């Protein structure tokens, strides 16, 4: 079971083994159980696999954690080409910053659970017709629906 919440302005995801992913939206840095994974490479720690890809001078993250594929998109200032879209294939959980271009990117990624962040996350949710309340913590349990996308509005 994955547990998501903000702690000290960082989005933290904890797996069943208490390994923590820390996403810092202010600096766009990610730590996996304390390991700095902010370089294009493939990593593995505590059973979590990570591929970090550099595309158009930005880093994009693809995690496999507890059988779920989690993708982090800090930046959307790139041209959508098949080279990068294949990196975002079969996404279970999408963590995405909201900008005007993010809506187009979101439409090309068929995520099952979407967690927007940033100061405009409420606009992102409203644009998509999602009127959901903020929650302090969210637990991902079981399998996702194959025919719908769920959204989570975490309190920052």
| Backbone φ, ψ for residue 129 (5° rounding) | 75, 25
The one-character DSSP state at 86 is: G
User: What is the rounded (10 degree) CA torsion for 88, 138, 41, 54?
Assistant: 50
Instruction: Reply yes or no on whether the pLDDT at 78 is more than 80.
Output: no
Domain contains 54:
yes
Tokens of 50: 């990570």
Domain contains 35:
yes
Measure the CA–CA gap between 112 and 145, rounded to whole angstroms: 7
| Residues of the chain above pLDDT 70, percent | 99
Instruction: Reply yes or no on whether the pLDDT at 149 is more than 80.
Output: yes
| Residues of the chain above pLDDT 90, percent | 53
Domain contains 75:
yes
What's the CATH code of the domain at 54? 3.60.15.10
| 3-class secondary structure, 49 | strand
Q: In this predicted structure, what is the pLDDT of residue 117?
A: 86
43 or 118: which leads in pLDDT: 43
Domain contains 118:
yes
pLDDT in tens, 125-134: 888 888 899 9
pLDDT in tens, 106-116: 888 889 999 99
Q: In this predicted structure, what is the pLDDT of residue 128?
A: 83
Measure the CA–CA gap between 76 and 44, rounded to whole angstroms: 26
Q: In this predicted structure, what is the pLDDT of residue 108?
A: 83
Total domains, the chain: 1
Q: What's the whole-number mean pLDDT along residues 132-148?
A: 90
The boundaries of the domain holding residue 134 are 2-151
Domain contains 156:
no
CB 156 within 8 A of CB 9: yes
Measure the CA–CA gap between 104 and 42, rounded to whole angstroms: 27
Measure the CA–CA gap between 145 and 35, rounded to whole angstroms: 32
Instruction: Reply yes or no on whether the pLDDT at 153 is more than 80.
Output: yes
pLDDT in tens, 31-71: 999 999 999 999 999 999 999 999 888 899 999 999 999 99
Q: Among the residues of the chain, which ranges form H helices?
A: 82-85, 100-108, 121-127
């Amino acid at each position: 079971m994955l547990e998501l919440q903000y702690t000290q302005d960082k989005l933290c995801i904890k797996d069943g083994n208490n390994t923590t992913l820390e996403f810092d939206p202010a600096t766009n840095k990610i730590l996996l159980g304390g390991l700095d994974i902010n370089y294009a490479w493939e990593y593995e720690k505590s059973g979590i696999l990570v591929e970090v890809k550099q595309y158009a001078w930005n880093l994009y993250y693809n995690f496999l954690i507890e059988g779920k594929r989690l993708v982090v998109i800090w930046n959307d200032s790139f041209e959508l080409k098949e080279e990068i879209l294949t990196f975002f294939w079969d996404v279970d959980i999408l963590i995405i910053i909201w900008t005007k271009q993010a809506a187009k990117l979101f439409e090309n990624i068929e995520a099952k659970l979407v967690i927007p962040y940033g100061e405009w996350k409420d606009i992102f949710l409203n644009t998509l017709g999602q009127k959901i309340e903020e929650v302090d913590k969210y637990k991902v349990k079981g399998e996702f629906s194959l025919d719908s996308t769920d959204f989570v509005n975490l309190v920052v």
